[in-house]
Structure 1
Amino acid sequence: MKASSVVEATCEAIFELVMCMDGTRFEWDSSFQYGSLVEEVDGHTAILYHRLQLGWLSTLLWPRDLCYERYWRRNDDGSYVVLFRSMEHPNCSAQPGFVRAHIESGGFKISPLKSRDGRTRTEVEHLLQIDLKGWGVGYFPSFQQLCLIQMLNSVAGLREWFAQADETHTVPNMPVMMSISSGSVSSKMGGESHDNFNQSISLDEESDEYEDCLTLEPEEMMDSVDAENVMKQPDEDPLDQLDLSSFSGNLRHDDRDNIRDCWRMLDGNNFKVRSKTFCYDKTKVPAGKPFMKLVAIDWFKDVKRMDHVARRQGCAVQAASEKGLFTLVVNVQVPGSTHYSMVFYFVSKPLVSGSLLQRFVDGDDEFRNSRFKLILSVPKGSWKVRLIVGSTRCLLGKAVDCTYIHGPKYLEIDIDIGSSTVANGVLGLVFGVISTLVVDMAFLIQANTYEELPERLIGAARVSWLEHSSAIVPQLEPNTSTE
């Protein structure tokens, strides 16, 4: 079930209140009795213990409690997503006198709206699928639904809480939650988790508004806009005439809609990038046509991580080199009991000296790590995955370990998703259920100065309902990397 409401408060204030598990929660959540922290997994994920105050036939039915994983993220548009999923934990065993309910899926989505009459407005959506367990669910058919409605009414509670708050009222800080030990509840306060959580918020706020960009005076910028517009894309691009059949990739290319287990090229307009005037006004524009051409995608699997895949005989890199083209290879490595790699091959004409791409290819790892960016979105798939991913953009070199291999007429970037808990949580979730998703991915080199703007995509692709079974084990030559 789902409940939604418009709340006159900022996304940040609502998010902080939703995350609280202290006494302030009694003021807006009528189903809350007690909450505590079991484990802080990382800055975005925590395991919580939660007792429900359902108040329905309390003399006949045992009270319910929960042990669940809570994951949160902040999207580039300022919205927040908070997701819940029940789980077992050794330090959160069944409590005497309680029935352990089970959250199948649920969470909050907190999205900014346009202000009205000068008042900040935010839409809050609360989705919840829960099994309250116990014999009462079967004997009292209305028990499950009435309790669920009571829990979803917290959305109305949020609206009323902020409506009653005067202008001097401040939202409490991020919660200091009590820890829980195996089999019993402790009253010891977990102050360390509070500090870590506040720290994690600042680390997550890496939207473009907070990234470095050399700022020019408006007069300087406007005077040179016309001259800089010569960077517009040509009407005809020799890369458009490339015959993709000469490039091998085991994942099928199909530009038709609703075709499974394949990839297609995107024109880039569904991604937004920094405009020419971004350093002045922070505006973004549709990306438009990429400056490199995606010619093939490989979908690999193996019992170990697959590094330097460009050395494989017969791959797209060698075909491009024979045509005098440069190739950028992006190898997205997903760890697990079976390791997977999704490998993108982008080609271009020989590098232009002094261009951003040339400086990226020939630069050092520090420069590359500070510029290589991924934009990820899920246009089709389960609501849970779409809420988690949103429109994710990430400087990959700052989030995960990237290895750069510079060979003859190519640069390969091996992206180890498993090196970051947060990245592995987001991208690992996507790849784990990728057969049920349509995933859009774009790569670019971030522009930080006025001369480098506007940004252009390296390339973009849509991968539709990819099957794990279609991945193959690559035959890799002995590693002879130069970097």
Structure 2
Amino acid sequence: MAGPDCERDYSWIEKVKSGGSVPCLEPENCSNGWATPPGDKFMIRGPNYLSDKVKIPGGGYILKPLGFDWIKGPTKIGNLLSNTNHRVRRAIDDETARGNNPFVWAFNLQIPSKDNYSAIAYFVALEPIQDDILVDKFLKGDDTFRNSRLKLIANIVEGPWIVRTAVGEQAICILGRALSCKYMSESNYFEVDVDIGSSMVANAIVHLAFSYLTTLTVDLAFLIESQTQEELPEQILGAVRFSELNPDSAGLYELSSEVGSGSLQSSLPTRLWKSIGLGLPQLLHLGNQDFSSPISDNANGGLHSEADEKNNENS
């Protein structure tokens, strides 16, 4: 049985989980908050996927959920964990000073808008990553390798028909092939800043979804795609659910005086929204296709729906 010392060791995680601008709640009822969805909600590549194309429920996660931030800033927010005043970075530094060695992952989804919103999911590994496994190769790999492997699975759990149609059923995206990603790796954290505004199609879909944000419940899973037999079956790093987020609930991001201007990137001009020019029929058609190319998941392409993948496998 775990003693008091073990409980104290993990108390910092609970503090981070409850420290954001929106609360950590139960998955079944997390209005204007966030939660950890069941892993079985996501379908991932099974042990013989390369030969039988069979996917399996996701199951458990590699990493522990650590927190979620819903924030906004004067310009696009990035490189958060280099900011020593940021609450998660402070928690990392405090634990390191106590002789512990947590390794934190941050997935920062930069949402194109005039208020520069970011939705950031944090996860933590409490034990060292084993050498030569896929996660280790990803952390040690170059950006080309990372761009070819980091996968996002998105499910619209609740939401209006128009958003469900635009996003598709269980949309799958190799992030670095569809969007511009910036990776920051240090001894105790790994951050990915995902610029959703870097893709015209993603830009338009997210702009549509943002209009219905207070009615949406969304599940997002992050994983490293398995592309060889020895890497199978896939495992999900971590997942987050956010529900009915209110833009007014977003916290204001404060930049550390130690962090240079490179951490706040130039925002997307408002006039871009007027220049998108995508009619609704086009948007709904594009929503179920690759952000970057019409390649299916079987060929390790970009965004597509689960239905698209089944059609490709049967053709």
* TM-score (normalizing by structure 2): 0.73
Amino acid at match of 2:222: F
Compare the two structures and name the one with the higher helix fraction.
Answer: 2
Q: Does the aligned pair in 2 maintain the 1:435–1:467 contact within 8 Å?
A: yes
The aligned residue for residue 279 of structure 2 is none
Q: Which one-letter code corresponds to 1:369 in the other structure?
A: N
Secondary structure, counterpart of 2:139 in structure 1: helix
Query: CA separation in 2, counterparts of 1:242 and 1:272?
Result: 30
Residue of 68, 73, 98 corresponding to 1:297: 68
CA distance in 1, matches of 2:178, 2:211: 20
1:373 match? 151
Q: RCO greater where, 1 or 2, for CA within 8 Å and sep 6 or more?
A: 2
- Per the TM alignment, residue 403 of structure 1 is displaced from its structure 2 partner at its CA by 0.4
Alignment partner of 1:354: what SS? coil
Higher strand share: 1
CA distance in 1, matches of 2:239, 2:225: 15
Is structure 2 residue 48 aligned with structure 1 residue 280?
no
**CA displacement, residues 297-350 of structure 1 (integer Å, 9 cap, x when unaligned):** 011112310111112324224424514111111100011211100011111122
Structure 2: distance between partners of 1:267 and 1:365:
30
Match of 2:117 in 1: 340
Cα pair distance change 1:432/1:278, threshold 3 Å = same
User: Matches of 1:468 and 1:454 in 2, distance apart?
Assistant: 38
Question: Alignment partner of 1:351: what SS?
Answer: coil
Q: Deviations over 1:80-129 (max 9, x none)?
A: xxxxxxxxxxxxxxxxxxxxxxxxxxxxxxxxxxxxxxxxxxxxxxxxxx
2:102 aligned to which of 325, 329, 339: 325
Match of 1:428 in 2: 207
Q: What are the superposed Cα offsets for residues 242-272 of structure 1, whole Å, 9 maximum, x if unpaired? A: 3332313332101153341101112210100
Residue number in structure 2 paired with 1:362:
140
The 8 Å contact of residues 326 and 351 in structure 1, kept in 2 or not, is answered as no
Match of 1:271 in 2: 42
Letter of the 1:358 partner, please give it: D
Aligned pairs, number: 244
Counterpart in 2 of 1:255? 26
Q: What's the % identity of the aligned pairs?
A: 36
The CA distance in 2 between the partners of 1:268 and 1:428, in whole Å, is 27
**Could you tell me which residue of structure 1 aligns to residue 166 of structure 2?**
388
Distance in 2, matches of 1:262 and 1:366, equals 34
User: Between Structure 1 and Structure 2, whose CA radius of gyration is higher?
Assistant: 1
Partner of residue 87 from structure 2, selected from 278, 299, 315: 315
Question: Aligned partners of 1:469 and 1:336: how far apart in 2?
Answer: 14
- Whether contact under 8 Å (1:302, 1:340) holds in the other structure is yes
Q: How much has 1:365 moved relative to structure 2?
A: 0.2
Distance in 2 of aligned mates of 1:437 and 1:450: 37
Q: Distance in 2 between matches of 1:415 and 1:380?
A: 24
Contact 1:311/1:476 (<8 A) preserved: no
* Aligned partner letter, 1:375: I
Task: Please say if 1:350 is aligned against 2:116.
Answer: no
Equivalent-residue separation in structure 2 for 1:439 and 1:359 (angstroms): 29
> Distance in 1 between the 2:27 and 2:155 partners?
19
Amino acid of the structure 2 residue aligned with 1:271: F
Pairing partner for 2:183 from 398, 404, 407: 404
Residue correspondence of structure 1 range 196-235 to structure 2 within 5 A: none
3-state SS in 2 of match to 1:255: coil
Q: For the structure 1 residues 366 and 256, does the alpha-carbon distance in structure 2 shift closer, same or farther, using more than 3 Å as the test?
A: closer
SS of 2:182's equivalent?
A: strand
Residue 443 of structure 1: which of 222, 232, 254 is its match? 222
CA spacing shift, 1:328–1:374, aligned 2, 3 Å:
same
* Structure 2 CA distance for aligned equivalents of residues 303 and 284 of structure 1: 42
Aligned AA (1:338):
D
Alignment of 1:20-59 (within 5 A): none
Q: Is the 8 A contact 2:34 2:240 kept in 1?
A: yes
Amino acid at match of 2:240: A
Equivalent positions of 1:70-89 (< 5 A) are none
Q: Give secondary structure in 2 for the equivalent of 1:430.
A: helix
RMSD: 2.1
Give yes or no for contact 1:266–1:460 (8 Å, CA) kept in 2.
Answer: yes
1:245 aligns with 2:23: no
3-state SS of the aligned residue for 2:210?
helix
* TM-score using structure 1 length: 0.48
CA contact (8 A) 1:254 1:262 kept: yes
State the alpha-carbon separation in 1 of the partners of residues 86 and 57 from structure 2: 35
Deviations 1:178-208 (A, max 9, x none): xxxxxxxxxxxxxxxxxxxxxxxxxxxxxxx
**Structure 1 letter corresponding to 2:67:** A
Instruction: Say if 1:299 and 1:342, in contact at 8 Å, map to a contact too.
Output: yes
Instruction: Flag as ranges the 4+ runs of structure 1 deviating above 6 A.
Output: none
- Aligned with 2:164: secondary structure? helix
Residue 281 of structure 1: how far off its partner (Å): 0.5
